[in-house]
């Protein structure tokens, strides 16, 4: 048995490597020729063949894979087929938008989750929170986004319907652009988090050490804060980690619906245009984020529950 | 009187789980509250703390502490009492400590919530750990509970309860989860704390031995009521209530003479829902009359219309002769220098090391040792359930290693197992019939249409109504389930049964029933038994030969009688002296 | 500050923001791509334009021009006051460079087949360019109107520099383009200082952006979405006549039963063009049996209305051809528009007695199969340049190109017709050729027009003076913010 | 077992959930028959409002929205009923396999990690592109997206079961490994997997809708709730019922399934 952290890191690397193969294979399996997408509707077969040649698309697949992987590892994933520019440049242009969106989601996710969870577990707001959580869960993002935009942008005109502004350029405006997509992203995942938290809160409240705290004369508020809540956060953190990992994927939909130009849109476009190097790189990025989020989750978990690292099970 | 409980009634829905209990504790006194599971001990204790679980309410009586009725206090006022005037210690020290907080923080919290400054609390926390006998106290404040041993955790809990020097300490089964040797340490700690601080202590237990060891006075609870109370010596020496008497008798004690069968209290404790209106013990009482069934006897030291005479002391047991020595037959189950290792490389734990034993029809081999000493591991090794790191186990000459599937089946027929926890060892989803039919089916012991008949016979053998065959496990009591466990082992008519702590999870009065069942089966069928226990009295009572295990090794072995009378190994000595 | 209001004010003082379904793409300036209409004419000028009514060439960067007697040499005289955004003066060399670029197959210009009929492009004097043709090319001006004039010195460095009213500014690929007013514009600087073009693909997102005041124009989205949004009358809908996209039903004549012209004609009768125009294009489309405009010289009204919706006739023709119940596949790319067209076509053809399997493919896959001519049966797609003229239409687009086309129709007669049109020296000859081409297409029915769909953009009423060129490209030289 | 199920169904949550789902199933099965209008019949009146002939109005090519909505539930139920049991079976199988051998476990774990690394949308998109969009693609996508959940659940349940005393007990009476698995382990694993079942059903409906949104769902002219929502949401201002009717039904379906899974879970935790 290897020590804990190196073992985790190794398995993360293994996952990434396997993913790179899957990603590569998946795109090649997708019918449709990148060269045809570039050549456009009125191109002749010869034009397409010339482009294929130029893009080295007729090289053997293993060599294409190694070429790309080698580039990725040395920080140069190549040139985008559709934009004919270095992928790193394109990423640099779009990453800000997605990071802002993801941050908005990440910030809002635990807020929605915590509020829902605490409300669900409380006696006073339980019923209302239950209704809210069920609704949030039942409505897919693509529906809630349309409703949110209709309400806040078209009818009330208090928030922009879509688009973006760099946070660094104008923080106050940027936040307004981020509010609706952030909420739309955070709602369903937040509801899941909330329910999970509520269940955990109820379970932890039943745990014996809470009785010890009561017997010490600890007031209920302090018990909730110091004993019950930390004890309930484990699964919350895990789910939150998964949630972060999914944000980049979720950005695909959110960016489409809110007319943002980030990595999600880039990913959708590049897959649709069979921009292989671009799509592969973006997909790997998404997977890496998910894997990293999971690792991060485990770091937090060991903090929350010191037993885990030593392999002690409860 | 520091605490006076008067006619306390605690209701669970419409049922009185605690039914008119009165108790009193004097300054500096240690009171033992004894009773079986479900008799209402914990609810009584929790009422004093004002900590009854939701759905359970104190519906009558009063709890006077220092002249105030605690039942009349509101939550904030109660909080002032909790942890400050009354401290409480719970049963399972691991579960009752917050696994995510350092021990120091938990100790300090007990004081800061009652107004002590953070700094002072920290200093005092170290003192407290020192006080309860944890060495290197200061350095351990930053440790988490899982870094302490079981006994140390219980000491931490006690330290926490003592943090504000309460005038009353309530300990609910403080040693049940601990080993005998550790238990002795905890009990003497409690006594020392009482001596040093003059705090009154209420110890809740189901173990008469603990009462005998530490309590000044005791109250016996049964079916939500106090059936007898008094000074320890009188209560134990001359019990007046038939239940107290039965309880004392059904526990084999190390010092008592060996008997073939234990005297038992027939039946099982009453259900909360169908308690008789009269004396709760009446349905199980040999002396009960009509009056007992309808009228509740008043408590005058004891609550019984037909008390035993003070002369009928426990020591005067009706002596039965030592069972006739059975002619030794060749061993069936042989373990030869067995070792078991869990985990690999750096994490490896040698759970069993070089253990040899022989078991065969007509003989009972006892294995004793504290928790983690490798008893269960050995049991599983005997049944071929674990890979061995060394040595071999053979059944009727064949070893588990390298046995063909067919051989294994034959070996399984020869050796069977009874498990510790009857709640876990029965598949909750299968009716008893299906569980019991399994051995017949897998071994093809009889035609399919004969199975029902065989099952009926099994049920008769273990003394259960045949109708139980169609119940699900949850519809049976613990004792009844353990009988099913025995029946399952018997089904294949084995030559040896390995019983891993078969009574540890059972109520005291039910324990004796199962022990007797095993003894009867042994006598009737000649089946050999490997009997694993952590209770010296049981082994001494039950087994011909005893092995003492310590950290995976057998440190001493010999005929039970001699072993306990003249232990040689220091560990055995400490075991015997820790027991009573 | 409210983001809604700030964004509504556009970038800077008198800027505006336009939303378009496709992002400007500076890598294919010589081609007409879906993004061209939104920026091409803002940044570039061309040599000539066509008059939207008469379809006659009108001066632009070329002040005047003259053919020789044989109509094989054309001399173009350029303006002398046109400046590139770099500050450099427009020269004949720039024009030569631009036209040669457009000839280069790598540039992928659709009009290359016409430009390739030019034997020599030459700067014959300062401000004068002479084109020497291999043969008479009646639609040469279509090609000249089409090709942007770029700065020779910087083009190959990837810079986007033209002589248009706006300069190419901050650009993020696939996303956003900032244009700034070019104060040195020869026709006088435009009134709007800055234009931001945002790529917003989703129609909903575009309309929300317009309705919440974040953009002043939306475009490139399905016309029916525009129609529903314009229903309240709050916005100005601008239809880019005479340019349109011809939506067609391509027939692979090598697939049975479509080898039989009767079956193909049955298709013509089966499809309900009126319903497609109304339901898919929100009425912003012409119903016609021909790819090119009804106003095309030589086209007669009876040709335009040749195939009216007539399911019974379709059934009868099918029966006659013995193809009733034939199992056919209709392919289309997966877009909201084409899937709706497919819906209707599938329904109509089923009514006529075909057994239809609809197949929606993702755009790239569809594109690949088109290039490989691997779409057995029918396919639905659209092409743009047929609205310019019949000859330009059939010469530039794969689906109807004589000799080599996606319908796999290989007919010497068709090639001859094309040659006749090229060589038409007089308007009369051209009209005659147009008529015969139309007749041929109607008869052969391998390229069935479903709709002539105008591109539609919708403006916030605060913007006035906007226009589109003959090609349907935005023209904002006179646009301004009104009250 | 049966007792527990019926108790779950009879709890207030379970009852509400069952009623909702049953209502939708009935609507899907008998609705189209009662209505008697073809969901494919096109007409000239596009995007018409509700009227006597078209109770919910018409879509953009003049088809009856009510008929399409009812048929849409059918599609979705069918997808759920094919995809989710398939995913459950596959996931449970893989999970069990992974639980039985160390290596198998490692490999499964990695496979699931890779699958989980992809976001559902992306995985779905890739699948739909690889095996041309349509019913099969939607089902495959749903299966691949939801399989890791089942796999992990099954594996966890299996590991928990294997250490149970009654499983050991069955071995000691001589039951073979296969019998132990079938008799004692599987039913309990099934139990914990079932709890996941209803939630996954609800998810499946959402995934179908998500795929439709990018044009990769059920293919026209066949209706599904997802395709209708994505098509209808662009007419939300002129023809709100177009999108909202399927949204409502979808929400009802998800709600019903969520309630059911809640009820089952609660019952399961009670033992
Ligand atoms: N929270 C509760 N809800 C319902 N019934 C309860 C609750 N707690 C205890 N009871 C019931 O009240 C009765 C007395 O329980 P109590 O916990 O006081 O027993 P005990 O003597 O402490 O037993 P043990 O030795 O098992 O701890 C039992 O029948 C039990 O089932
Ligand atoms: N599956 C396992 N993996 C690793 N270590 C184990 C495992 N099971 C038991 N052990 C360790 O082996 C040692 C012996 O355990 P075993 O269960 O045999 O003790 P025991 O004497 O039966 O204790 P108890 O009285 O608590 O039942 C302990 O240190 C225990 O932690
Ligand atoms: Mg208790
Ligand atoms: Mg054990």
Helix, strand and coil percent figures for chain C, each rounded to 5: 35, 25, 40
Residue B224 token pair:
């939500």
Element (H, E) at A118: helix A87-121
* Nearest CB neighbour to D173, from listed B424, B429, B488: B488
Average pLDDT, chain C: 90
- Model pLDDT, residue B256: 64
Mean pLDDT, range B5-30, rounded to an integer: 90
Taking the Cβ of residue A40 and every Cβ of chain B, the question of whether any pair is shorter than 8 Å is answered with no
Which residues partner with C132 through β-bridges? Answer: C73, C120
Chain D closest-CA separation from residue A299 CA (Å): 18
8 Å CB contact of C360 and D129: no
Q: Among the bound ligands, name the one nearest to the CA of residue B33.
A: 1
For residue D44, being part of any structural domain is answered with no
| Share of residues in chain C with pLDDT > 70 (%) | 98
Adjacency order of strands within the sheet including B364-368 = B415-418, B496-500, B528-533, B364-368, B545-550, B553-559
Structure tokens that stand for B419 in this block: 């498990």
C313's enclosing H/E stretch is helix C311-321
Which of D166, D171, D174 lies at the smallest CB-CB distance from B427? Answer: D166
* Rounded Cα gap, residues B378 and C420, in angstroms: 102
Tell me, what's the pLDDT at B182? Answer: 82
pLDDT tops 70 at residue C186: yes
Residue of C nearest to D126 (CA): C362
pLDDT over threshold 50, residue B320: no
pLDDT at A105: 85
Q: Taking the CA atoms of chain B, what radius of gyration do you get in angstroms? A: 25
CB proximity list for C27: less than 8 A, separation 6 or greater? A83, A84
pLDDT exceeds cutoff 60 at A309: no
- Which residues are bridge partners to C20 per DSSP? C199, C219
Is the Cβ atom of B12 under 6 angstroms away from ligand 1? yes
pLDDT at residue B315 tops 50: no
Interface membership of A85 toward C (CB under 8 Å): yes
Chain D residue with Cα closest to C341: D61
Three-class SS state of C340 = helix
> Is D41 a domain residue?
no
Does the structure show a pLDDT above 90 at A161? Answer: no
* Chains C and B in direct contact, meaning 3 or more beta-carbon pairs closer than 8 angstroms: no
Q: Ligand 4: distance of its center to the CA of B373 in Å?
A: 8
Ligand 1 pocket, B17 CB below 6 A? yes
Decide if pLDDT at A275 tops 70.
yes
Closest-CA residue of C relative to A80 is C173
Q: Chain B residue with minimal CA distance to D165?
A: B425
Task: Find the mean pLDDT for residues C324-348.
Answer: 92
Instruction: Determine the pLDDT at residue B379.
Output: 93
C-alpha distances out from residue A154 to B54, C206, C330, D232, Å: 50, 12, 39, 17
Q: Is the model more confident about B139 or about C458?
A: C458
Q: What is the mean pLDDT of residues A84-98?
A: 87
CA B52 to ligand 1: nearest atom: 1
DSSP C132-177: EESS--TTHHHHHHHSBP--HHHHTTT----SSSEEEEEEETTTEE
DSSP C177: E
Chain B residues inside the 8 Å CB shell of D166: 424-428
The domain total for chain D is 1
Is there a contact between A160 and C4 if contact means CB atoms under 8 Å apart? Answer: yes
Where residue B481 falls among pLDDT bands split at 50, 70, 90?
A: confident
Q: Is C481 on the interface with D (CB under 8 A)?
A: no
- Using a CB–CB cutoff of 8 Å, tell me whether C347 touches chain D: yes
Contacts of B577 (CB under 8 A, 6+ apart): none
Query: What is the residue-wise DSSP string for B32-97?
Result: EEEE-TTSSHHHHHHHHHT-PPTTEEEEEEEEEETTEEGGG--HHHHHHHBTTTEEEE-S-TTTTS
User: Which domain covers residue D70, as residue numbers?
Assistant: 2-36+56-270
| Ligand 2 contacts CB of residue B548 (under 6 A) | no
* Alpha carbon B87 to chain centroid, angstroms: 24
pLDDT tens digits for range C35-86: 999 999 999 999 999 998 888 899 999 999 999 999 999 999 999 999 999 9
Spatial CA neighbour of C352 closest among C288, C303, C307 = C307
- Whole-number pLDDT of residue A308: 56
Please report whether residue D42 resides in a domain. Answer: no
* Separation CA C148–CA B109 (nearest Å): 79
Tell me which ligand sits closest to the C-alpha of residue B374.
2
Question: If you measure CA to CA, which chain B residue comes closest to D191?
Answer: B429
- Place C141 in a pLDDT band, splitting at 50, 70 and 90: very high
Tell me the average pLDDT across C11-24.
80
From chain A, pick out residues whose CB is under 8 angstroms from the CB of B87.
215
D233 vs A290: CB contact, 8 Å cut-off? no
Q: Is A95 on the interface with D (CB under 8 A)?
A: no
Peptide bond into B425 cis (omega under 30): no
Residue B316 has pLDDT above 80, yes or no: no
Alpha-carbon distance of D76 to D81, in angstroms, equals: 8
- Range B542-560 average pLDDT: 89
- Calculate what percentage of chain B has a pLDDT beyond 90: 27
A227 touches chain C (CB under 8 A): no
Arithmetic mean of pLDDT, B320-346 = 74
B428 near B473, Cβ under 8 Å?
A: yes
Hey, is the C-beta of A314 within 8 angstroms of any chain B C-beta?
yes
**Per-residue b or e along C305-324, where b marks 16 or more CB atoms closer than 10 Å to that residue's CB:** ebbebbbebbbbbbeebebb
pLDDT of B215: 93
A312 CB neighbours in chain B (<8 A) are 146
Residue D268 has pLDDT above 80, yes or no: no
Q: How far is A270 from chain D (nearest CA, A)?
A: 12
Residue D166 lies in a domain: yes
Residue-level length of chain B: 580
Helix ranges (H only) for B353-505 are: 375-382, 405-414, 432-443, 451-461, 478-490
A1 pLDDT more than 90: no
Evaluate whether residue D180 is within a structural domain: yes
Task: Report how far residue D199's alpha carbon sits from residue A188's, in angstroms, rounded to the nearest whole number.
Answer: 13
User: For residue D167, how far is its CA from the centre of ligand 3 (angstroms)?
Assistant: 29
Residues of A in contact with C370 (CB under 8 A): 36, 41
Q: Provide the pLDDT for residue B319.
A: 43
Dihedral (CA of B149, B153, B156, B158) sign = negative
Roughly what angle, to the nearest 10 degrees, separates helices D2-10 and D12-35? 80
Cβ-Cβ contacts under 8 Å, B113 against chain A: 216-219, 222
Could you give the CA distance from residue B19 to residue B10 in angstroms, rounded to a whole number?
7
pLDDT in tens, A180-199: 888 888 888 888 888 888 88
Residues 155-184 of D with CB under 8 A from B: 164-166, 168-176, 179, 183-184
CA of B542 to the centre of ligand 2 (A): 24
pLDDT tens readout for residues C72-113: 999 999 999 999 999 999 999 999 999 999 998 888 888 998
Q: What is the pLDDT of residues A207-264, one digit of tens each?
A: 888 888 888 888 888 888 888 888 788 777 777 877 777 666 677 778 877 878 888 8
**Strand, coil or helix: C1:** coil
Split at pLDDT 50, 70, 90, the class of D269 is low
Find residues 364-403 of chain C whose CB sits inside 8 Å of chain A: 364-365, 367-368, 370-372, 381, 383, 396-398
Tens digits of residue pLDDT in D94-127: 888 876 777 777 788 778 878 877 777 778 888 8
Q: Is the CB of B166 under 6 A from ligand 1?
A: no
Contact residues, A window 174-213, toward B, CB-based 8 Å cutoff: 207-209, 211-213
Structure token digits, residue B206: 């189901």
Ligand 2 contacts CB of residue B257 (under 6 A)? no
Tokens of B425: 């060892």
Q: What digits encode the pLDDT tens for the residues B225-238?
A: 999 999 999 888 88
Q: What is the DSSP string of B162-227?
A: HTT--SEEEEESTTTTS-HHHHHHHHHHHHHHHHHH--EEEEEES-HHHHHHH-SEEEEEETTEEE
Domain for residue D31, yes or no? yes
- Specify if D257 maps to a domain: yes
Q: Is the CB of B43 under 6 A from ligand 1?
A: yes
Please give the Cα distance from C295 to B153 (Å, whole number): 97
Contact residues, chain D, for B420 at CB < 8 Å: 165
Q: Tell me, yes or no, if D256 comes closer than 8 A to chain A by beta carbon.
A: no
| % residues pLDDT > 90 (chain C) | 65
Q: What does the block give as tokens for B18?
A: 């605690």
Banded model confidence at residue A311, pLDDT cuts 50, 70, 90: very low
Q: What angle do CA A297, A299, A305 make, to 5 degrees?
A: 95
According to the model, what pLDDT value does residue A220 have?
84
Closest residue in A to B172 (Cα–Cα): A212
Nearest CA of chain A to the CA of B102: how many Å? 10
Burial class of residue C27 in the structure, from the number of CB atoms within 10 Å of its CB (0-12 exposed, 13-18 middle, 19+ buried) = middle
Instruction: For residue B372, give how far its alpha carbon lies from the nearest alpha carbon of chain D (Å).
Output: 17
Residue C260 reports pLDDT greater than 50:
yes
Which residues 177-206 of C have a C-beta within 8 angstroms of A?
198-202, 204-206
* Dihedral angle sign, alpha carbons of residues B411, B416, B421, B422: positive
Whether residues C339 and D215 touch (CB distance < 8 A) is answered with yes
Separation of B42 CA from ligand 1 center, angstroms?
7
Residue C461 burial (CB count, 10 A): 12
CB contact under 8 A, A216 and B82: yes
Mean pLDDT along residues D12-28: 90
Report residue C316 as tokens: 């009868």
Residue D251 lies in a domain: yes
Which pLDDT does position D95 carry in this prediction?
84
Give the C-alpha separation, C290 to D206, whole Å: 44
Q: Is the pTM of this model over 0.90?
A: no
Q: What is the rounded distance in angstroms from the CA atom of residue D84 to the CA atom of residue D77?
A: 10
A312 touches chain B (CB under 8 A): yes
Tell me the CA distances in angstroms from C404 to B543, C27, C420, D55, one per residue in order: 101, 27, 18, 51
Is this prediction's ipTM beyond 0.90?
A: no
D162-211: pLDDT as tens digits: 777 888 888 888 888 888 888 888 877 877 777 778 778 878 888 888 88
Calculate how close chain D gets to A47, using CA atoms only, in Å. 25
Please tell me which chains touch A, using 3 or more CB pairs under 8 Å as the contact test: B, C, D
CATH of the domain at D178: 1.10.3720.10
Test C278 with D44 for CB contact under 8 angstroms. yes
Tell me how many residue pairs between chain C and chain D have CB atoms under 8 A apart.
63
């Amino acid at each position: 048995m290897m020590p804990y952290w190196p073992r985790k890191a190794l398995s993360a690397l293994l996952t990434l490597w396997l993913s790179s193969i899957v990603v590569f294979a998946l795109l090649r399996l997708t019918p449709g020729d990148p060269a045809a997408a570039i050549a456009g509707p009125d191109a002749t077969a010869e034009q397409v063949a010339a482009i294929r040649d130029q893009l080295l698309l007729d090289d053997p697949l293993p060599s294409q894979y190694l070429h790309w992987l080698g580039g990725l590892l040395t920080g140069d994933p190549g040139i985008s087929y559709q934009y004919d520019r270095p992928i790193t440049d394109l990423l640099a242009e779009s990453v800000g938008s997605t990071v802002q969106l993801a941050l908005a989601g990440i910030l809002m996710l635990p807020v929605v989750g915590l509020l829902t969870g605490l409300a669900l577990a409380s006696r006073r707001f339980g019923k209302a929170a239950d209704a809210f959580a069920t609704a949030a869960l039942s409505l897919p993002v693509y529906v809630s986004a349309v409703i949110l935009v209709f309400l806040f942008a078209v009818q009330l005109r208090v928030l922009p319907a879509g688009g973006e502004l760099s946070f660094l350029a104008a923080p106050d405006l940027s936040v307004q652009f981020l509010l609706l997509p952030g909420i739309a992203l955070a709602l369903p995942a937040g509801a899941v988090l909330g329910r999970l938290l509520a269940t955990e809160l109820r379970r932890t409240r039943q745990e014996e050490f809470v009785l010890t705290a009561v017997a010490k004369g600890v007031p209920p508020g302090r018990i909730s804060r110091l004993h019950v809540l930390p004890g309930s956060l484990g699964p919350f953190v895990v789910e939150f980690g998964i949630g972060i990992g999914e944000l980049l994927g979720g950005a695909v939909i959110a960016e489409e619906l809110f007319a943002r130009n980030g990595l999600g849109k880039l990913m959708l476009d590049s897959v649709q245009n069979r921009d292989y190097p671009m799509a592969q790189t973006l997909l790997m990025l998404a997977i890496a984020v998910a894997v990293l989020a999971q690792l991060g989750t485990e770091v937090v978990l060991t903090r929350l529950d010191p037993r885990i690292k030593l392999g002690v099970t409860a | 009187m520091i605490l006076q409980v008067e006619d306390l009634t605690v209701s669970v829905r419409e049922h009185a789980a605690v039914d008119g209990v009165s108790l009193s504790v004097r300054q500096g006194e240690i009171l033992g509250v004894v009773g079986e599971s479900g008799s209402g001990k914990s609810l009584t204790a929790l009422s004093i703390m004002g900590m009854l679980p939701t759905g359970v309410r104190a519906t009558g009586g009063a709890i006077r502490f220092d002249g105030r009725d605690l039942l009349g206090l509101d939550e904030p006022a109660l909080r002032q009492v909790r942890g400050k005037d009354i401290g409480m210690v719970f049963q399972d020290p691991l579960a009752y400590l917050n696994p995510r907080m350092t021990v120091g923080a938990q100790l300090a919290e007990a004081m800061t919530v009652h107004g002590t400054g953070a700094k002072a609390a920290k200093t005092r926390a170290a003192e407290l750990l020192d006080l309860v006998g944890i060495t290197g106290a200061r350095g351990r404040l930053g440790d988490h509970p899982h870094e302490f041993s079981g006994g140390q955790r219980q000491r931490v809990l006690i330290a926490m309860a003592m943090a504000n020097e309460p005038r009353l300490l309530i300990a609910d089964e403080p040693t049940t989860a601990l080993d005998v040797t550790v238990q002795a340490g905890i009990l003497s700690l409690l006594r020392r704390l009482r001596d040093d601080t003059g705090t009154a202590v209420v110890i809740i237990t189901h173990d008469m031995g603990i009462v005998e060891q530490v309590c000044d006075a005791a109250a016996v609870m049964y079916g939500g009521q106090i059936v007898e109370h008094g000074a320890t010596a009188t209560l134990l020496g001359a019990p007046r209530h038939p239940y107290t008497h039965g309880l004392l008798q059904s526990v084999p004690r190390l010092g008592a003479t060996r008997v073939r069968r234990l005297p038992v209290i027939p039946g099982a404790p009453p259900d909360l829902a169908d308690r008789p209106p009269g004396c709760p013990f009446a349905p199980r009482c040999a002396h009960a009359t009509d009056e007992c069934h309808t009228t509740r006897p008043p408590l005058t030291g004891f609550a019984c219309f037909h008390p035993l005479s003070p002369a009928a002391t426990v020591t005067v047991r009706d002596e039965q002769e030592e069972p006739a020595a059975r002619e030794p037959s060749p061993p069936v189950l042989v373990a030869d220098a067995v070792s078991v290792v869990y985990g690999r490389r750096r994490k490896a734990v040698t759970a069993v090391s070089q253990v040899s034993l022989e078991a065969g029809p007509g003989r009972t081999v006892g294995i004793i040792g504290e928790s983690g000493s490798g008893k269960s591991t050995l049991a599983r090794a005997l049944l071929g359930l674990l890979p061995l790191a060394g040595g071999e186990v053979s059944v009727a000459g064949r070893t588990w290693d390298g046995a063909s599937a067919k051989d294994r089946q034959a070996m399984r027929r020869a050796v069977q197992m009874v498990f510790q926890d009857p709640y876990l060892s029965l598949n909750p989803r299968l009716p008893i019939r299906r569980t019991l039919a399994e051995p017949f089916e897998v071994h093809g012991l009889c035609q399919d249409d004969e199975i029902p008949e065989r099952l009926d016979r099994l049920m008769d053998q273990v003394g259960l109504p045949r109708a139980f065959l169609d119940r699900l496990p949850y519809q049976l009591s613990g004792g009844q389930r353990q009988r099913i466990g025995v029946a399952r082992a018997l089904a294949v008519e084995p030559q040896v049964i390995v019983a891993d702590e078969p009574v540890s999870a059972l109520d005291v009065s039910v324990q004796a029933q199962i022990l007797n069942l095993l003894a009867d089966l042994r006598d009737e069928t000649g089946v050999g038994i490997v009997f694993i226990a952590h209770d010296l009295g049981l082994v001494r009572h039950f087994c011909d030969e005893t092995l003492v295990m310590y950290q995976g090794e057998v440190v001493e072995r010999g005929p039970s009688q001699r072993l306990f009378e003249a232990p040689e190994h220091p560990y055995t000595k400490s075991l015997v002296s820790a027991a009573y | 500050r409210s983001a809604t209001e700030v964004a509504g004010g556009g970038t800077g003082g008198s800027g505006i923001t336009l939303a378009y379904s496709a992002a400007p793409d500076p890598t294919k300036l010589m081609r007409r791509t879906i993004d061209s209409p939104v920026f091409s004419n803002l940044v570039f000028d061309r040599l000539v334009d066509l008059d939207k009514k008469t379809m006659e060439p009108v001066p632009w960067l070329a002040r005047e021009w003259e053919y020789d007697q044989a109509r094989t040499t054309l001399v173009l005289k350029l303006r002398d006051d046109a400046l590139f955004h770099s500050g450099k003066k427009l020269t004949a060399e720039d024009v030569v460079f631009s036209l040669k670029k457009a000839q280069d197959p790598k540039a992928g210009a659709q009009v290359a087949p016409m430009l390739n009929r030019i034997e020599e492009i030459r700067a014959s004097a300062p401000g004068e360019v002479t084109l020497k043709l291999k043969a008479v090319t009646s639609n040469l001006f279509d090609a000249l109107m089409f090709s942007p004039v770029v700065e020779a010195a910087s083009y190959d460095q990837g810079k986007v520099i033209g002589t248009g009213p706006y300069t190419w500014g901050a650009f993020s690929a696939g996303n956003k383009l900032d244009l700034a007013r070019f104060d040195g514009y020869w026709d006088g600087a435009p009134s709007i200082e800055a234009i931001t073009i945002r790529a917003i693909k989703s129609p909903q997102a575009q309309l929300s952006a317009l309705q919440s005041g974040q953009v002043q124009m939306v475009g490139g989205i399905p016309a029916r979405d525009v129609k529903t949004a314009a229903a309240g009358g709050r916005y100005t809908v601008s239809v880019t006549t005479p340019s349109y996209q011809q939506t067609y039903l391509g027939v692979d004549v090598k697939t049975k039963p479509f080898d039989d012209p009767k079956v193909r004609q049955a298709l013509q009768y089966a499809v309900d063009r009126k319903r497609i125009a109304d339901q898919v294009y929100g009425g912003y489309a012409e119903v016609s049996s021909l790819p090119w405009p009804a106003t095309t010289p030589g086209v007669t009204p009876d040709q335009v209305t040749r195939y009216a919706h007539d399911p019974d006739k379709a059934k009868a023709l099918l029966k006659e051809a013995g193809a009733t119940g034939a199992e056919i596949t209709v392919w289309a790319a997966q877009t909201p528009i084409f899937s709706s067209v497919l819906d209707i076509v599938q329904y109509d053809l089923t009514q006529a007695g075909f057994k239809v399997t609809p197949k929606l493919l993702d755009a790239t896959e569809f594109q690949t199969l088109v290039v490989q001519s691997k779409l057995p049966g029918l396919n639905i797609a659209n092409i743009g340049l047929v609205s310019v003229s019949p000859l330009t239409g059939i010469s530039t687009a794969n689906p109807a190109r004589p000799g080599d086309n996606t319908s796999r129709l290989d007919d010497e007669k068709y090639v001859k017709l094309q040659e006749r049109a090229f060589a038409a020296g007089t308007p009369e000859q051209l009209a005659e050729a147009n008529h015969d081409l139309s007749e041929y297409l109607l008869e052969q029915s391998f390229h069935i027009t479903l709709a002539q769909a105008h591109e539609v953009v919708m403006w916030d009423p605060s913007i006035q003076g906007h226009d589109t060129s003959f090609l349907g490209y935005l023209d904002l030289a006179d646009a301004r913010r009104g009250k | 077992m049966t007792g527990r199920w019926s108790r779950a169904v009879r709890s207030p949550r379970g009852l509400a959930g069952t009623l909702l789902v049953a209502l939708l199933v009935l609507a899907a099965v008998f609705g189209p028959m009662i209505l008697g209008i073809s969901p494919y019949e096109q007409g000239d009146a596009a995007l018409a409002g509700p009227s006597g002939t078209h109770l919910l109005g018409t879509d953009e090519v003049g088809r009856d929205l009510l008929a399409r909505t009812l048929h849409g539930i059918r599609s979705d139920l069918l997808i759920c009923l094919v995809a989710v049991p398939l995913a459950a079976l596959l996931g449970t199988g893989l999970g069990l396999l992974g639980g039985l051998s160390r290596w198998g476990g490692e490999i499964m774990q990695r496979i699931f990690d890779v699958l989980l690394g992809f976001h559902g949308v992306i995985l779905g998109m890739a699948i739909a592109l690889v095996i041309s969009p349509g019913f099969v693609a939607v089902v495959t996508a749903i299966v691949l997206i939801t399989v890791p959940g089942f796999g992990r659940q099954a594996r966890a349940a299996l590991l928990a079961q294997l250490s149970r005393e009654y499983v050991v007990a069955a071995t000691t009476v001589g039951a073979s490994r296969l019998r132990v698995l079938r008799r004692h382990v599987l039913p309990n694993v099934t139990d914990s997997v079932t709890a996941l079942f209803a939630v996954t059903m609800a998810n499946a409906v959402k995934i179908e809708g998500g795929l439709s949104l990018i044009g990769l769902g059920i293919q026209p002219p066949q209706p599904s709730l997802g395709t209708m929502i994505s098509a209808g949401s662009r007419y939300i201002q002129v023809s709100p019922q177009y999108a909202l009717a399927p949204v409502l039904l979808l929400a009802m379906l998800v709600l019903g399934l969520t309630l059911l899974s809640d009820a089952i879970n609660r019952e399961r935790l009670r033992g």
